Amino acid sequence: MARDTEVSCLVKYLVFGFNVIFWLAGGFILGIGLWAWFEKGTFDNIAKVANVPVDPVLIFVVVGAIMFILGFSGCVGALRENIILLRFFSVVLGIIFFVELAVGVLGFVYKDWFRQQLDNFIQANIIHYRDDPDLQNIIDFVQSYFQCCGGEDYNDWENNIYFNCTLKESRGSREACGVPFSCCKDQGNNNVLNTQCGYDVREEEINPSARALAIYTKGCVPQFEAWLQENLFVVAGVAIGIALLQVFGIYLANSLVSDIQAIQAL
C-alpha cells in the first residue's frame, strides 16, 4: 500500500544526490568569482567589467550562479516533492543540453565561421591584455599551454599598444616590438622565469631562425585546431559524458514528477 502513496525513495534521493553535488560545485565556483571581483575592486566600480571583451571572472560568476540555482531547485524540489521546482530544473537543464548540442553541430558545419570568430575574440583580448590581470593570466596560460603566440601568429601583438613597434621610437618602451613572456620557448632554465625574454623579438633585423628558437611563432588558433585533432576522441568522450549526465538528470527529475503526479491523482 505504501508503494501507492509514496514516491520511490531511490529516485527521490538519486535526484537529491545528483543535485547536491551540482549545488555545492556551483556555490564554490560562484564564491571564487565573487571573491576575485572583490579582490580586483570590481564592486567599487562595476563599469570595469565592460572595459574588456570578456572578464574571465564574469564567466565564473555566471556559470556558478546557474549551477547554484539549478542545484538548489533540484535539491529542494526532490526533498519537498515540489513539481514546479523539479520542472524548472528539468526544463532549464534541457535548454542547456540543446544549446550545447546546437553549438556542437553548428561548429562542425560552419567550422570556418567559428574559426574566424575565435580569431576575432583572441584579437580583441590581445588589445586589452594589460587592462585586466585575470585576462592577462588567461592569455599567458593559453599561450604557454598550447605553445602559441597571438591569434594567427606572433605579429598579432602589434595590435597591443604596449607591444606596438612604433612605441620604441616615440616613447622608448622596452616592450615595444616584443611579445609577452608566455610566448617564449623553454630554454631549459626552469627555476628562473625570464619575463624579458620576448623583448625585441619582432624587430625586422632579427633572423627568423633565431626568432623561432626564442618564441613560439605559430598562432593560438591553428595550434588549438591541431590540439583538437590530436585529442578528438578525448574531447568527444568528455562531451558525450557531460551530455549523458544531463540526460540522466532530466530523466530522474521527470520520473520523480511522474511519481508525484500519480500519487496526487489517487
pLDDT (tens digit per residue) in 40-67: 766 555 555 555 566 778 888 899 999 9
Judged against a pLDDT cut of 50, whether residue 170 lies above it is answered with yes
How many C-alpha atoms does 208 have within 13 Å on its Cβ side?
3
pLDDT reported for residue 1? 38
Nearest CA among 143, 157, 124, 108 for reference residue 223: 143
Residue 2 pLDDT: 42
User: What is the b/e burial string over 61-89, where b = at least 16 CB atoms within 10 angstroms of the residue's CB?
Assistant: beebbebbbbbbbbbbbbeebbeebbebb
The residues facing 184 across adjacent strands are 215
Among candidate residues 239, 144, 124, 238, the one with its CA nearest the CA of residue 185: 144
pLDDT tens digits for 185-204? 987 666 667 888 889 899 88
The reported pLDDT for the residue numbered 48 is: 54
Q: Which residue has the higher pLDDT, 195 or 83?
A: 83
Query: Residue 34: enclosing H or E segment and its boundaries?
Result: helix 9-40
pLDDT at residue number 12: 87
The whole-number pLDDT of residue 193 equals 73
> Global pTM?
0.79
Please give the pLDDT value at position 241.
92
Cα 59 from Cα 47, distance rounded (Å): 16
- Whether 181 shows a pLDDT value over 70: the answer reads yes
What single DSSP character describes residue 184?
A: B
What digits encode the pLDDT tens for the residues 97-120? Answer: 999 999 989 988 999 999 999 999
Percentage of residues of the chain with pLDDT beyond 90: 50
